[in-house]
Structure 1
Amino acid sequence: MARHLVLALLFVATFVAPAQAADAYRIGMSVAITGPAAGIYAPAFDAYKVYFKRINDAGGINGHPVEIMFGDDRGEPSRAAANAKKFAEGVILIVNASISPTYKPLMTEAEAEKIPLLFGGGVCPKEAFPPAHPLIFCSTSFGAQWDSRFAVPFIKAQAGGKAKVGFVAQNIPVSQAEMEFAEKLAREQGLETLPVVVVPGGSADFTPFAAKLKDGGADWVLSWAPWPLEIGVFEALARIGWTGRYVTYAHQPAQDDLARLKSPNLFAFGGNALFTEALPIHKEIESAVKGQTSHPPHYLVEGWVSAMVLEQALRKCGWPCSKDKLAQTLATVSVDTRGLRGGAIEWTADNHYRQRAYYKVYRWDTGSRAVVPVGGWTRLDVK
């Protein structure tokens, strides 16, 4: 831990070299730079580095640089707690980009020190939903229950109103709770359901879990979990001859695996536009991060959007910007995501998630031999 904090502090020294710490907006970021979840969350670390280096090179915000203190929590609660205590010594905001077990210690410290906490890569906690906790904010594209509120009606529509649906979760509370919610929602909407299949994290063989779904007669399967598990169960189903349709959340690797597997039966839905659409903002990000990261550019989107939100909040907060003033300012942001999402991220005093959630579905099209959208953006009003 000490080594990671030293590295983070050394990075800060070079990141804001032209200015003294007292002249900077000081931000703490607890992120899984290493550890089992690093492949998903470490890209947010790179996104913040690139994004705010550009800001600082252009003169900073309101004439002041943004100083980011990074701490590697490896997805471990104890390390996240240590990061939070370190950050509490003078930061005006803590950013989290890590797995859900790190949430509680960060929330505890944020509450104790009255520091706003921005989730910018991990699943949005319920505290960001209406009625929102005054210190908890979330820019991440995926959110508990709202994702299922989109996915279940999508399955029903695609299936013509009649289907037997299976559900796949990882053995972590947030994933299991989401799939239990989705199963209940599916039953309420008249679909036949199978019990949620819970898969231990780190499983080397997904075949036994896939067999439960196939033997149960599932026509459709919905999975909401870390990507390796989501895609692992689908591939296991394909190997044992299942011919149904599989719907899963489109985490960062989705577009790569959709193209690799070339299966028209695999649907990936999400809140971010895939880089296969080659939008101007996609090209801008690709250019900005070239040579600055070992990750594919599309892996950096969650961190990039989070940084966009933070930039606007700091500009609106002005100078000086205290943690109390920043918390109040965050509750007023309206950020144009420039096509990365289906619409703006807008927060209010009691809604720190978004006023409207947008979803788009992608699949492999055998005719065009490309990953394509299945329709346009679908909007859900968040109340």
Structure 2
Amino acid sequence: MKTRLSSLVVAAGLIAGGLGGAPVQAQETYKIGISAGLTGYAATVDRAWSDGVKVAADVVNANGGVLGRKIEVIVEDNRSEPQDAVTVYRKMISSDEVNVFNSGCVSAGNMAAAPLVVRAQIPMVLCSILPKTESDVKWAFSTLPPARFEIETRLQYLKDKTDIRKVGVMHDPSPYANLQKDVAVKIAKDYGIELVGVEQYKTDDADLSVIISKMASAGAGAILKIGLGGTTLTAAKNIKQLGLDMLLLTSLEDLEVFRPVAEVLGDKFFFVASPAQVYDALPDGPLKSEINEFLGPWKKQYGDRDPNWAGRGWDAVMLTVAAIEKGNSIEGPDVRDNLEKITGYQGTTGIYNFSPDNHQGITENPFVLGQIIDGQVKIVN
């Protein structure tokens, strides 16, 4: 990180000094657009992502900007709805004239708006999964590890550390949750696990007891819950109200969502954790060093707030800056082409290895299983 920021300062100084012609005007900016679910079911993670992008932009700007331009971040609330995402994308393309999108975790919204972005030839470095069509994927890059990693982390624990062999799966209707559900259905048997129920719930459901009771009756000793938001606490309360001796293993989420869940279920609650969420337990090395580079400015502004999704937003900005520097250009097609050339890049979540055939940069599972015991986040051994 220090090396990358130092190069930014040198580049900015050279350009300001007249390299290549006329001096850069002070008002020139590089605009990052964010379509984020600041309200709705994705609010917790997308607010953190957006704030992480802003912190990264502040750090880059404090060190001279990128190619002599200050980064300007434009955030629009898509209310966690695909239709609203299309509207805000269109606005940022036509009115704000953004240069790149570092958009949040509402996969359906990013997918729905992708054709607009492709026509405008604007790269996207996303918190979410990639669009479905090849032409849309060409302009989209994801900071999100493959969906199977979250499932594998939980199934491996059940196989190695418990006698539970019957499991239920609950998931919300989002594209990423459905991807995880499909992975669970496909690979559970490889871990000696029988799925005795696979049920979808709504993101605003206030009672999941019918689904949970059905899975318990089928012999489930654990539930894999896939999805964001307050339904995780709902599921925990239902399990306790029903008097069930059942484990709840949930997806990656903000720790503030998990803390009240841990108060309800105690040591029967497990969650997929990113490296930034268990920073203190990490061994010294490049990953911990990069997280530390981010945590300094993050904690200065936000204290002990969960760094996970914000760190991924930080990664999105730094990957974008790296691509700009690699090609010495802010033009959309050039940035897109150079994002494909980024390999071995240490981020806060893992190492990114993009290529023309791979726009989902993290290829090795960075996740661990976590618990919150006596208010402290722990890695489950």
Quickly name the TM-score band, shorter chain normalised: 0.7 to 0.9
2:310 maps to 1:300: yes
2:77 corresponds to: 72
1:154 corresponds to: 157
**What is the identity, as a one-letter code, of the residue corresponding to 1:204?**
A
Q: Retained in 2: the 8 A contact 1:169–1:224?
A: yes
1:214 Cα offset (Å): 1.8
Q: Retained in 2: the 8 A contact 1:259–1:370?
A: no
Work out the CA distance in 1 between the residues paired with 2:162 and 2:81: 41
Higher-helix-fraction structure: 2
Q: Retained in 1: the 8 A contact 2:262–2:269?
A: no
Indicate the SS of the match to 2:366. Answer: strand
1:168 Cα offset (Å): 0.9
Per-residue CA shift, 1:61-111, capped at 9, x if unaligned?
Answer: 232212222222222223322222233344332222142231233211122
1:32 Cα offset (Å): 1.8
Q: Retained in 2: the 8 A contact 1:132–1:352?
A: no
Work out the CA distance in 2 between the residues paired with 1:157 and 1:26: 48
Change (3 A) 1:38 1:237: same
**What is the identity, as a one-letter code, of the residue corresponding to 2:271?**
A
Over aligned residue pairs, what C-alpha RMSD do you find?
A: 3.1
Change (3 A) 1:311 1:152: same
Q: TM-score, normalised by structure 1?
A: 0.79
2:336 maps to 1:332: no
1:82 corresponds to: 87
1:195 Cα offset (Å): 2.0
1:6 corresponds to: none
Indicate the SS of the match to 1:62. Answer: coil
Q: Retained in 1: the 8 A contact 2:102–2:317?
A: no
Change (3 A) 1:277 1:212: farther
Q: Retained in 2: the 8 A contact 1:255–1:371?
A: no
Work out the CA distance in 2 between the residues paired with 1:132 and 1:150: 30
Change (3 A) 1:225 1:88: same
2:325 maps to 1:315: yes
Q: TM-score, normalised by structure 2?
A: 0.79
**What is the identity, as a one-letter code, of the residue corresponding to 1:42?**
R
2:367 corresponds to: 359
Per-residue CA shift, 1:269-295, capped at 9, x if unaligned?
Answer: 134331562766666545424574599
**What is the identity, as a one-letter code, of the residue corresponding to 1:145?**
R
2:115 maps to 1:111: no
2:284 corresponds to: none
> Residue 29 of structure 2 is aligned with which of 19, 24, 28?
24
Q: Retained in 1: the 8 A contact 2:167–2:223?
A: yes
Indicate the SS of the match to 2:219. Answer: coil
> Residue 223 of structure 1 is aligned with which of 222, 225, 232?
225
Gaps of 5+ in 1: 1-17, 376-383
1:197 corresponds to: 199
1:172 Cα offset (Å): 3.8
2:184 maps to 1:182: yes
> Residue 53 of structure 1 is aligned with which of 42, 52, 58?
58
Indicate the SS of the match to 1:243. Answer: coil
Work out the CA distance in 2 between the residues paired with 1:359 and 1:291: 26
Q: Retained in 2: the 8 A contact 1:186–1:192?
A: yes
1:167 Cα offset (Å): 0.7
2:133 maps to 1:134: no
Work out the CA distance in 1 between the residues paired with 2:278 and 2:183: 30
Higher deviation after alignment, 323-332 or 95-104 = 95-104
Q: Retained in 1: the 8 A contact 2:166–2:222?
A: yes
2:263 maps to 1:273: no
Change (3 A) 1:313 1:218: same
Work out the CA distance in 2 between the residues paired with 1:267 and 1:359: 13
1:131 Cα offset (Å): 11
2:154 maps to 1:144: no
Indicate the SS of the match to 2:186. Answer: helix
1:166 Cα offset (Å): 0.8
Aligned length: 346
Gaps of 5+ in 2: 1-23, 282-287
Q: Retained in 2: the 8 A contact 1:255–1:276?
A: no
Identity %: 19
